[in-house]
């Protein structure tokens, strides 16, 4: 929605309230009068306030350990959160128990006075009331930001009694809290005595169980730690030995695998030369001897050849050396294998010893757990018994102490100004209610009012523009025609301009269409459609157009009355052929305007208008004249206008915006649209200049306030009529 549309909506709402200003003002006056009367009848109520401080708990004279042995009442209190604790205290202040204590401070014959109840005027009701409930309703608890600061207010018609009751509520709450703590302490003392007997028996039983456990397992309290330490050292030592043995075993396994990979068929294998690592002396000697034989074999073979005895002897010696190598390696591998077997046996024994030691340590740990459990039970029972025994001796003394966690900070004073009724709030509320009711009444009246309220409504329903706004006018006695504004002596400058504007808007709204034949009708009778049609035709003739108006209303014709003509012959006689066209046309009746009256009223107007003869007549008129204006019956009662409309270039609907119902106009427009008839627009007729403000906003501009449309003399007449 743009700014212009929003502004128009606001103006429409403002105009709505202007139309019903008296209803709006009357409802506001009535409601405000009622509110003022109720305010005058209301009783003045005073409120007095006392301020107290609530600590989470008072000083614990029984000691911190007392929390372990409190009764179930206090144990529950300690478990709740601080917020819940304060919420519970606020409820206690307003409880029946505290209110009952307050009433006990008032003499019985004065209770009704303090509660503001007149027992003499209403004796029967006084006997049936509950004074405690009445007092509870008068008490208000207001916690402050810190929660522990609380304001207790009491309302009463008597300011002194309000102060008395407020102080009494605070004192009764403090007394109630002291009594509560006293009985809790007494309950705790009784509970302590009962618990001490039970705890003593539990202690004796736990000590006996510990003794029997020691006796059955033949252990002392110190044996567990020493034996655990010894077993831990054994486990650590065996673990270290097994780790070293595992390293040695891996080394032996690696060496056995290394010698097993030697290729005895390849004397040049590099591992042959590493044999001496196990026996350096033998290994070095054999390696030297082997290298020497190899050298001699190479030399002899070059000198003597392969089959020479010397070469054969050297080859045999080489074989002997290789055999010695094999034997030495085999011996080394066998030695390693024997060492590995011995080492495996040792590791097996050590693992068995480690498992037995670990199992023994585990069993000892289980035994220690049972022993520790029994010992802790003895210690716990002994501690609880000692605490209960000590606190039971102090419980009776604590019950006699008035140790409280609540105190009064500011006592209530006698108020001087009433808190109720709140005049400003009541009057403001009454005014708001009055505005709402008045606005609702205005909208309801507007909702059930079926009349148009603005030109915008007409355009919204018809989806066509308002082509003209015709003011209400009255001809002078010496004018040529009573209802034609274009006469020399009419004196209707505003109406003349209105019809000229209508003529111009018809052209501007359809610039690309040739509007030669136009039908003027209305929704219901008495909307001035004949006056509009006659003056529109006269407007065209004054503008130099060759124009004619045809009265097609054969039920209640009026064109002949407007122009002062005879109605013996006209359109009806032309259609049936009794007269010719030249005979029925009244020429140059007004400013060059030709007129065809309705003629004799026939028994079947619809059939005549639907005949082919009527179509030929309209075609002939359209050929001879620049503009043909057809006046037809209204759309609602009869179908004549719908029959004629297809023979024209468009329909203009005249309506009296102050009298035509919206729903009828809407229904008419829908029927026309469904029939495919072209609507050029609407003409708002018979607008009263004195009520022009009612429909002031038309496209954001008031046409009749423009001095461009009328002469200075007409403007003076208009202003005189408007503001007189």
Which residues face 152 on adjacent strands?
Answer: 50, 141
Judge whether residue 271 has pLDDT over 50.
no
CA 193 to chain CA centroid, Å, is 60
For 405-473, strand residue ranges (E) read: 406-410, 466-471
Buried b (16+ CB within 10 A) or exposed e, 31-51: beeebeeeeeeeeebbbbbbb
d(CA 183, CA 578): 123
* Spatial contact of 626 and 540, defined as CB atoms under 8 Å apart: yes
The pLDDT confidence band at residue 685, using thresholds 50, 70 and 90, is confident
Strand order in the sheet with 627-631: 466-471, 679-687, 651-655, 517-522, 627-631, 547-551, 593-596, 585-590
* Spatial contact of 443 and 36, defined as CB atoms under 8 Å apart: no
d(CA 272, CA 653): 130
- DSSP characters for 215-275? HHHT--TTHHHHHHHHHHHHHHHHHHHHHHHHHHHHHHHHHHHHHHT--TT-TT-GGGGGG
Tell which phi-psi region holds residue 505, choosing left (phi > 0), alpha (psi between -120 and 50) or beta: alpha
The pLDDT confidence band at residue 50, using thresholds 50, 70 and 90, is very high
d(CA 648, CA 552): 12
Q: Cα-flanking dihedrals φ and ψ of residue 156, to 5°?
A: -160, 155
Q: What is the pLDDT of residue 69?
A: 41
Kindly calculate the radius of gyration of the chain based on its CA atoms and give it in whole angstroms: 62
Which carries the bigger pLDDT value, residue 280 or residue 51?
51
Q: What is the pLDDT of residue 696?
A: 46
Q: Which residue has the tokens 């409309």?
A: 645
Q: How far is CA 4 from CA 7, 11, 499, 568, 701, in A?
A: 5, 11, 28, 55, 12
Q: What is the pLDDT of residue 631?
A: 92
d(CA 428, CA 217): 91
Q: What is the pLDDT of residue 278?
A: 56
Residue ranges and CATH numbers for the domains of the chain are 3-193+403-410 (3.30.70.1130), 455-718 (3.40.50.300)
For residue 600, the SS3 value is: coil
For 578-626, strand residue ranges (E) read: 585-590, 593-596
For 426-468, write each residue's pLDDT tens digit.
888 888 998 998 888 888 877 776 667 667 778 877 788 888 8
- Find the angle CA(362)-CA(368)-CA(372) to the nearest 5 degrees: 150
- Number of alpha carbons in the 13 Å side-chain half-sphere of residue 716: 3
For 430-553, strand residue ranges (E) read: 466-471, 517-522, 547-551
Q: What is the dihedral of CA 702, 707, 710, 714, to 10 degrees?
A: 100
Q: What is the mean pLDDT of residues 167-196?
A: 79
Which residues face 468 on adjacent strands?
Answer: 683
* Spatial contact of 466 and 680, defined as CB atoms under 8 Å apart: no
* Spatial contact of 414 and 48, defined as CB atoms under 8 Å apart: yes
* Spatial contact of 364 and 227, defined as CB atoms under 8 Å apart: yes
- Find the angle CA(99)-CA(105)-CA(107) to the nearest 5 degrees: 115
Judged by average pLDDT, the poorest of 64-68, 91-95, 179-183, 314-318 is 64-68
Q: What is the pLDDT of residue 453?
A: 65
- Average pLDDT value for the chain: 77
Q: What is the pLDDT of residue 513?
A: 77
Which carries the bigger pLDDT value, residue 221 or residue 138?
138
The pLDDT confidence band at residue 72, using thresholds 50, 70 and 90, is very low
For 203-248, write each residue's pLDDT tens digit.
778 878 777 776 776 665 556 667 778 878 888 888 988 898 889 8
* Spatial contact of 275 and 267, defined as CB atoms under 8 Å apart: no
For 286-306, write each residue's pLDDT tens digit.
677 777 777 877 788 877 777
Nearest alpha-carbon partner for 422 in 138, 135, 28, 45: 45
Q: What is the pLDDT of residue 67?
A: 45
Judge whether residue 75 has pLDDT over 60.
no
d(CA 358, CA 262): 44
Task: State what percent of residues in the chain have pLDDT above 70.
Answer: 78
Q: What is the pLDDT of residue 699?
A: 38
């Amino acid at each position: 929605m743009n700014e212009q549309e929003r502004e128009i909506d606001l103006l429409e709402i403002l105009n709505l309230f202007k139309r019903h200003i008296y209803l709006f003002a009357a409802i506001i006056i009535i409601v405000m009068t009622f509110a003022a009367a109720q305010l005058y009848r209301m009783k003045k109520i005073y409120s007095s306030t006392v301020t107290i401080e609530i600590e989470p708990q008072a000083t614990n004279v029984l000691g911190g350990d007392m929390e372990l042995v409190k009764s179930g009442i206090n144990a529950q209190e300690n478990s709740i959160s601080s917020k819940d604790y304060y919420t519970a205290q606020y409820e206690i202040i307003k409880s029946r128990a505290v209110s009952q204590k307050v009433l006990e401070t008032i003499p019985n014959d004065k209770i009704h006075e303090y509660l503001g109840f007149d027992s003499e005027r209403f004796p029967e009701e006084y006997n049936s009331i509950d004074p405690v409930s009445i007092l509870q309703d008068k008490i208000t608890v207001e916690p402050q930001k810190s929660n522990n600061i609380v304001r207790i207010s009491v309302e009463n018609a008597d300011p002194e009694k309000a102060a008395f009751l407020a102080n009494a509520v605070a004192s009764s709450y403090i007394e109630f809290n002291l009594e509560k703590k006293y009985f809790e302490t007494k309950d705790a003392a009784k509970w302590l005595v009962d618990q001490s007997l039970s705890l003593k028996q539990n202690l004796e039983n736990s000590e006996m169980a510990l003794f029997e456990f020691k006796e059955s397992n033949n252990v002392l309290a110190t044996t567990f730690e020493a034996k655990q330490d010894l077993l831990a050292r054994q486990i650590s030592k065996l673990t270290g030995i097994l780790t070293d043995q595992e390293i040695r075993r891996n080394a032996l396994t690696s060496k056995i695998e290394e010698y097993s990979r030697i290729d005895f068929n390849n004397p040049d294998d590099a591992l042959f030369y590493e044999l001496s690592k196990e026996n350096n002396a033998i290994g070095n000697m054999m390696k030297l001897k082997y290298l020497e034989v190899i050298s001699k074999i190479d030399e002899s073979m070059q000198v003597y050849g392969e089959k020479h005895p010397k070469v054969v002897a050297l080859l045999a010696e080489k074989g002997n050396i290789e055999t010695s190598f094999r034997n030495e390696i085999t011996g080394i591998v066998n030695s390693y294998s024997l060492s590995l077997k011995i080492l495996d046996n040792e590791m097996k024994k050590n693992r068995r010893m480690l498992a037995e030691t670990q199992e023994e340590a585990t069993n000892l740990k289980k035994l220690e757990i049972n022993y520790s459990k029994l010992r802790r039970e003895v210690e716990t029972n002994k501690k609880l018994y000692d605490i209960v025994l000590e606190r039971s001796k102090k419980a009776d003394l604590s019950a006699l102490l008035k140790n409280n966690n609540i105190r009064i900070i500011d006592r209530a004073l006698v108020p001087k100004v009433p808190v109720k009724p709140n005049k400003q709030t009541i009057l403001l509320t009454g005014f708001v209610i009055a505005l709402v009711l008045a606005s609702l009444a205005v909208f309801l009246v507007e909702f059930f009012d079926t009349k148009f309220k603005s030109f915008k409504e007409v355009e919204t329903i018809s989806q066509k523009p308002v082509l003209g706004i015709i003011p209400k006018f009255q001809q002078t006695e010496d004018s040529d025609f009573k209802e034609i504004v274009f006469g020399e002596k009419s004196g209707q400058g505003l109406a003349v301009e209105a019809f000229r504007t209508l003529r111009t808007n018809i052209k501007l709204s359809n610039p690309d269409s040739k509007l030669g034949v136009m039908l003027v009708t209305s929704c219901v009778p008495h909307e001035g459609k004949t006056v509009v049609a006659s003056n529109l035709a006269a407007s065209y003739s004054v503008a130099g157009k060759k124009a004619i108006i045809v009265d097609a209303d054969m039920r209640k014709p009026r064109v002949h009355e407007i122009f002062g003509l005879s109605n013996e012959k006209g359109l009806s006689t032309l259609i049936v052929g009794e007269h010719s066209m030249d005979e029925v046309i009244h020429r140059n009746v007004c400013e060059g305007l030709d007129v065809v009256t309705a003629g004799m009223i026939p028994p079947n107007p619809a059939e005549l208008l639907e005949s082919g003869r009527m179509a030929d007549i309209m075609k002939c008129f359209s050929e001879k004249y620049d503009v043909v204006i057809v006046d037809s019956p209204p759309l609602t009662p009869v179908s004549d206008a719908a029959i004629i409309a297809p023979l024209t270039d468009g329909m203009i609907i005249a309506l009296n915006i102050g009298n035509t119902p919206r729903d009828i106009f809407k229904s008419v427009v829908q029927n026309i649209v469904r029939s495919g008839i072209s609507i050029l627009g609407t003409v708002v007729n018979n607008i009263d200049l004195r009520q022009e403000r009612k429909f002031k906003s038309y496209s954001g501009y008031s046409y009749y306030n423009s001095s461009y449309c009328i002469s200075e003399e007409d403007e003076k007449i208009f202003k005189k009529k408007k503001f007189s």
